[in-house]
Amino acid sequence: MTRVIIVRHGQSGYNTERRIQGRTDASTLTEKGRNDASIVGKALSNILFNAIYSSPLQRAKHTADIIHSELATHAEQSAVIQVSDLLLEIDLPLWEALLTAEVKQKFAEDYRTWHQRPDELRMLLNDAQGTREHFPVLALYEQARHFWQETLSQHQGETILIVGHNGINRALISTALGIPPSRYHSIQQSNCGITVLNFAGGLGEPVQLESLNQTQHTGESLPSLRPDHQGIRLLLVRHGETDWNRQTRFQGQIDVPLNDNGRQQSQKAGDFLQEVAIDFACSSPMLRPKETAEIILKQHPNVKLDLQDGLREISHGLWEGKLETEIEQEFPGELQRWRLVPAQVQMPEGENLQEVWERSVAAWQSIVETASTNQFKTVLVVAHDATNKTLLCHILGLSLENFWNFRQGNGAVSVIDYPSGIDGLPVLQAMNITTHFGGGVLDKTAAGAL
């Protein structure tokens, strides 16, 4: 496995002014940006990096230098920073250095396209090559693919750090996972946010998003809402650990309760979310998520818990209650198919992923509509591993073949925003936050079967 940790640069002057940066190199880190970069370095200091890559733009390079100096206080860290033009930020030459408000005013139609259909944004440029069409998002995705193709083959089985920008980081994550350019805005990267990807091989081979946009080290429990946010925020949580998770025994719809560690995880998730103003809560009716939700809601005594049958775990049918070795013995080759082509597997006397998709997405849409009707701002949703992974595919516009691309640790928190309201596309602001368990940046919860 090749582990890739991606960091966005610290806050810059242009960030505070809400000015478009693109490839202009005029903007430098603020004091907060420098301090946060130092904090990132400390947060990553227990990880041994084999290579560090940075964008050449000074806001990213300075961030990388500060992180590197923190890492260097640990003698075993020997990686040097390699600067790569393939990590340059998205190229928006007609908008660079303008305030976002000015771009909205001067390029109203293009700005609308940028937000609603980013893959279709086109700029006509006049330069040494004459007049040409430039599609910023499509060009950025191509650049990201080139970076992966060039870099992954050099670092098989190693751990690498990338310090880039909001745009290129999103394109790197999207090209790794297969998120289309039309959904460019469906994931976010905060200043000094940390994302972790695990690659089985090269681009196009299996990859897992272990976590997305962790910001807890900078003092932000959850990524802050965008200034123009007008919709709902949903906190999607996987239930705490059970004894069967620990044993890697398939649970499915067998109603296994939390174990003591699972109750502690739920308590820690509750502590982590205690300052968040939760307006409404939903859970699968099964014991393990229901108890997880009830423990979290002890900090929010006035919040009603609604049970949604559509959020139940996948029915594994005849696999339920069995260990992987037992399943392999009784159903030879089916576990391998489940790992490689999950959408094609029909659980014996159970469900397939399409059936889980239909009921869980229907429940999700119902929750979103209820929240909108009642003007709830923040909703807690507690469900299961397979249910959550299916919902994440839906949120990012991916097919069920992408099911294994997402990690969901016991008691982990993911953040989904609807910044333009329920008629707009959802945005995955953060995924699989597990730092409240004290294990640092990497997810150390039980691997566990579903």
User: At 122, which amino acid appears?
Assistant: R
Is 68 labeled as catalytic in the residue annotation? no
Query: Residue 286, class by beta-carbon neighbours within 10 Å (0-12 exposed, 13-18 middle, 19+ buried)?
Result: buried
CA distance 392 to 412: 14
Tokens of 40: 């990132």
| DSSP line for 125-154 | EEETTEEEEE-HHHHHHHHHHHHHHHHGGG
The beta-strand segments (E) located in 335-400 are: 378-383
Is 241 labeled as catalytic in the residue annotation? no
Taken in order 21, 23, 26, 31, the sign of the CA dihedral is: positive
Beta strands 413-417 and 378-383 are unpaired
Active-site entry in 239, 300, 316, 436: 239
HEC profile of 312-338:
CCCCCHHHCCCEHHHHHHHCCCHHHHH
Active-site entry in 70, 291, 313, 320: 313
Q: Would you say how long the chain is, in residues? A: 450
On the CB side of 337, CA atoms within 13 Å amount to 12
What residues are labeled active site?
239, 313
